[in-house]
Amino acid sequence: MVESRHDAGARPLTGDEAAYVARARDTAFVLYEGVRVPHRSCGIAIAETFGLPTRPYQALRKGGITGAGTCGSIRAGEQVLGELLGDPDPTGAVTPALRDAITWLQAVAPTRLELGGAPDLVCATLVRPLGDFAGPRRKAFCTNLAAEVAALTAEALCRFGAAAAPPITPVPAPPAEEAR
């Protein structure tokens, strides 16, 4: 029996798919957190998680640089899906896989992401209640948000474009002498 696209969004993930999602979450967390490796912005952490060039993702930092735009993590997840599932022909139509993946992501993100009760997905709205932008509360919030968006992006790839899902290489642990 052929699985319909609707079923793809609701079925349980396989063990391999769940492991892929976990690798995406963990990798983005480490890249954004900036403890084991230098800190990356939210969009760059997500692009790098999926092995994509990071330069265009710089514009997603802090909700489009100004804080007035949509959360850079969420926009990055959508852009990753566009890069991996979109039609490479600039005159091509939206692919069914991209349409389904974006539709699914936009539907599940508000229900699966911890948004702190924010009424929208604007960066400043999300982080303003957390105090200083450079402070530990905001950094922890954004670290977790970037990790969860990477996980949702990986899940969307598993559900709607498994053939396009790139390998995710976890960030290696520091050598034992550095870990002390």
pLDDT digit string (tens) for 29-69?
999 999 999 999 999 999 999 999 999 999 999 899 999 99
For the chain, report the end-to-end CA distance as a whole number of angstroms.
54
Give mean pLDDT, residues 112-123. Answer: 93
How far apart are the C-alpha atoms of 151 and 42, rounded to whole Å? 13
Mean pLDDT of the chain: 92
How far apart are the C-alpha atoms of 70 and 82, rounded to whole Å? 17
pLDDT surpassing 50 at residue 3: no
49 or 7: which carries more pLDDT confidence? 49
What pLDDT score was predicted for residue 179? 52
Q: Which helix (H) or strand (E) holds 75?
A: helix 72-85
The rounded percent of the chain whose pLDDT value lies above 90 is 84
Give mean pLDDT, residues 103-131. Answer: 94
3 or 92: which carries more pLDDT confidence? 92
How far apart are the C-alpha atoms of 161 and 106, rounded to whole Å? 16
Predicted TM-score (pTM) of this structure: 0.92
Q: How confident is the model at residue 1 (pLDDT cuts 50, 70, 90)?
A: very low
How far apart are the C-alpha atoms of 173 and 99, rounded to whole Å? 37
The rounded percent of the chain whose pLDDT value lies above 70 is 94
pLDDT surpassing 50 at residue 158: yes
What pLDDT score was predicted for residue 4? 45
Cα–Cα distance list, 43 to 9, 12, 55, 135, 174 (Å): 24, 27, 10, 19, 24
What pLDDT score was predicted for residue 82? 97
